[in-house]
Amino acid sequence: MAARKVIVTVAPTGGMALKSQNPALPTQPQEIADDVYRCYNAGASVVAVHARRPEDDGATCNPAIYRDINERIRSHCNIVLNNSTGGGVHGDMVRQAANGYWEILWEERIKGIEAGAEMCTLDPTTIVASFDGKEILMNTSPSRCRELAIKMQEKGIKPEWEVFSPTHLLQDVVACIKEGLDKAPYFINVVLGVNQFQGALPYSPKILQQMVDILPEGSLFNVSAVGPAQLNAGVLSLLLGGHVRVGLEDNLYYERGQLATNVQQVDRIVRIIRELGLEPATPDEAREIMGLPLLG
Secondary structure (DSSP) of the chain? -PPPEE-EEE--S-SS--TTT-TT---SHHHHHHHHHHHHHHT--EEEE-EE-TTT--EE--HHHHHHHHHHHHHH--PEEEE-SS--SSGGGEEE-TTS-EEE-HHHHGGGGSS--SEEEE----EEEEETTEEEEE---HHHHHHHHHHHHHTTPEEEEEESSHHIIIIIIHHHHHTTSS-SSEEEEEEE--TTBTTPPPP-HHHHHHHHHTPPTTEEEEEEE-TTHHHHHHHHHHHTT-EEEESTTT-SEEETTEE--HHHHHHHHHHHHHHTT-EEPPHHHHHHHHTPPPP-
Average the pLDDT over 121-149 and give the result. 94
Instruction: Provide the pLDDT for residue 235.
Output: 98
Task: Give the model confidence (pLDDT) of 155-176 as tens digits.
Answer: 999 999 999 999 999 999 999 9
The residue ranking higher by pLDDT, 2 or 17, is 17
Reported pTM: 0.97
CA distance 109 to 63: 10
Q: What is the pLDDT of residue 250?
A: 98
pLDDT computed for residue 296 by the predictor: 75
- pLDDT classification of 121: cutoffs 50, 70, 90: very high
- With a cut of 90, say whether residue 1 has pLDDT above it: no
Enumerate residues 6+ apart whose C-beta is below 8 A from 122.
Answer: 85, 145, 148, 149, 152, 159, 160, 161, 162
Asked if residue 185 has a cis previous peptide bond (ω within 30° of 0), the answer is yes
pLDDT in tens, 97-117: 888 999 999 999 999 999 999
Closest to 189 in 3D by CA, of 25, 43, 46, 17: 46
Residues in the chain, overall count: 296
% of the chain exceeding 70 in pLDDT? 100
pLDDT digits (tens, 9 = 90+) for 218-257: 999 999 999 999 999 999 999 999 999 999 999 999 999 9
Average pLDDT, the chain: 96
Residue 75 has pLDDT above 90, yes or no: yes
Q: Under CATH, domain 5-290 is a member of which superfamily?
A: Aldolase class I (3.20.20.70)
Widest distance between CA atoms in the chain: 62
Q: Which long-range contacts (CB under 8 A, 24 or more apart) does 171-174 make?
A: 171/124, 171/142, 172/124, 172/125, 172/140, 172/142, 172/145, 173/124, 173/216, 174/216
